[in-house]
């Protein structure tokens, strides 16, 4: 009968081999486009919209959009009624305490909301002017 000996593995190597799961936090921004009396109002979002933490040199990219069209398409806005849409971005670094929401586009009309204070939930409501 053969005896099987269990190999010994150093604790450091075992720790290095353990699966490392990094939770991908996402940032959710609920945006309000305020009511206007104008008919035929149209809005859209560009994929070149970012969350920017200048102090850390970080940009979170837009990964999903709800209730708004992505350039080059347009979404019609009902007159006299606030219009809400949602943007989902890749996570911010845990050291981030505030950030800007900026739509960087090659024409007039891009928005820039500065100095949004970070919260624990990473869910925010902003007004687009």
Count of the separate structural domains present in the chain: 1
Average pLDDT over residues 85-94: 96
Contact 71, 46 (CB under 8 A): yes
Q: What is the pLDDT of residues 18-69, one digit of tens each?
A: 544 345 689 999 999 998 877 788 999 999 999 999 999 999 999 999 999 9
In a domain, 12, yes or no: no
In a domain, 13, yes or no: no
In a domain, 37, yes or no: yes
In a domain, 2, yes or no: no
Distances in whole angstroms, Cα of residue 40 to Cα of each of 31, 71, 74: 20, 17, 11
Distances in whole angstroms, Cα of residue 94 to Cα of each of 20, 51, 58: 18, 14, 11
In a domain, 100, yes or no: yes
Residue-range definition of the domain harbouring residue 123? 26-127
d(CA 122, CA 12): 35
pLDDT at 21: 35
d(CA 101, CA 53): 9
């Amino acid at each position: 009968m053969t005896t099987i000996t269990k190999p010994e593995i150093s604790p450091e190597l075992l720790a290095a081999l353990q699966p490392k799961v990094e939770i991908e936090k996402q940032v959710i921004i609920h945006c309000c486009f305020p009511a206007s009396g104008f008919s035929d109002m149209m809005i859209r979002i560009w994929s070149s919209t970012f969350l920017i933490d200048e102090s850390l040199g970080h940009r979170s990219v837009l990964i999903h959009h709800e209730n708004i069209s992505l350039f080059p398409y347009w979404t019609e806005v009902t007159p006299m009624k606030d219009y809400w849409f949602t943007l989902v971005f890749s996570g911010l670094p845990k050291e981030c305490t505030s950030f800007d929401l900026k739509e960087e586009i090659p024409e007039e009309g891009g928005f820039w909301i500065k100095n949004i204070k970070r919260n624990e939930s990473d869910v925010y409501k902003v007004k687009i002017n």
